[in-house]
Amino acid sequence: MFSGSLVAIVTPFKDGKFDETTYADLIEFQIANGTHGIVPCGTTGESATLTPKEHERVVDLTVEIVNRRVTVIAGTGSNSTDEAITFTKHAKNAGADGALLITPYYNKPMQEGLYQHYSSVAKASDIPLVLYNIPSRTGLNMLPETIARLSDIPSIVAVKEGSGSLSQVSAIIDLCGENMTVLAGDDPLTLPMMAIGAKGVITVTANVAPADMANMVNLAIRGNYEEARILHYKLNPLFTALFYETNPIPVKAALSKMGKLQNELRLPLTTISPENQEKLFHVMKTCGL
């Protein structure tokens, strides 16, 4: 159901508030450069520090601006199952095409807890759901066997797999077959994951290089891996640079340098260090940004 280069879009702030005008411009920039979908209120969108009211406004505005031109997958995850259900119901009512749900963080449920968490959200709303496995953020790994169990639930259609393990990706595809679409959750692994069966990526890099990310994914979908590899190696320094510090610190610095937004984050995130900023801007220049 979901494929392509789907941008995990930043949330721009101005004087501490959600900057709606800049956000609209960012979405138009993405669509004009071939991005296949917008993913608001994810980790890159600083969802952890959005108030519930802000969270819902970001999703509402995304759906309104996109106006069905591309896919919208709203981040609705939480370490509280009840809160995840509330956000997911809102995304459905707002008109989003799907919902992205991170594995519950900090409380570190067991695999059975993960199953019950996601199945409870699925029962509460019939919007298509995308699981999000990112052990480095949440402190737990959702195992392929758990993902396979969840793939039997009709509304759970995809997984953003960010474990960093191609072996795990292979196991998920082997166990789930056509029941589960795999999307890359690590930008550097987009092309390798697509080579073994993933259908695209939910990407940080597309915030600053949307056309190259979309073209790389399009080429891979068509099986043209020779040309896709050229773009992979062009983007590879940027994949590293955008994680010199915790995401979205570098990507907001990069977008600010490009004149796309004001470089403002919410505490406890702080702006990029001068040393890493200099290195980031050098990489941006070599990548043609």
List the CATH number of the domain containing 86. 3.20.20.70
Q: Active-site residue 53, yes or no?
A: no
Residue of 127, 20, 12 whose CA lies nearest to 65: 20
From the list 23, 92, 115, 160, the catalytic residue is: 160
Question: Structural domain tally of the chain?
Answer: 1
Is 40 inside any structural domain? yes
Is 233 inside any structural domain? no
Is 231 inside any structural domain? no
From the list 118, 132, 199, 244, the catalytic residue is: 132
Is 285 inside any structural domain? no
Radius of gyration, alpha carbons of the chain:
18
**pTM (whole model) above 0.75:** yes
Is-contact 45 9, C-beta < 8 A?
Answer: yes
**Residue 41 confidence (pLDDT):** 98
Measured CA to CA, the distance from residue 246 to residue 254 in angstroms comes to 13
Judging by DSSP bridges, how do beta strands 200-203 and 98-102 pair with one another? Answer: unpaired
Is 281 inside any structural domain? no
Q: How many CB atoms lie within 10 A of CB 24?
A: 15
Is 53 inside any structural domain? yes
Burial (CB < 10 A; 0-12, 13-18, 19+), residue 102, is buried
User: 144 lies in which domain range?
Assistant: 4-222
Burial (CB < 10 A; 0-12, 13-18, 19+), residue 85, is buried
Is-contact 160 131, C-beta < 8 A?
Answer: yes
Is-contact 129 121, C-beta < 8 A?
Answer: yes
Q: Active-site residue 160, yes or no?
A: yes
Per-residue pLDDT in tens (0 to 9) along the chain, 289 residues: 899 999 999 999 999 999 999 999 999 999 999 999 999 999 999 999 999 999 999 999 999 999 999 999 999 999 999 999 999 999 999 999 999 999 999 999 999 999 999 999 999 999 999 999 999 999 999 999 999 999 999 999 999 999 999 999 999 999 999 999 999 999 999 999 999 999 999 999 999 999 999 999 999 999 999 999 999 999 999 999 999 999 999 999 999 999 999 999 999 999 999 999 999 999 999 999 9
**Residue 1 confidence (pLDDT):** 83
Is 283 inside any structural domain? no
Is 261 inside any structural domain? no
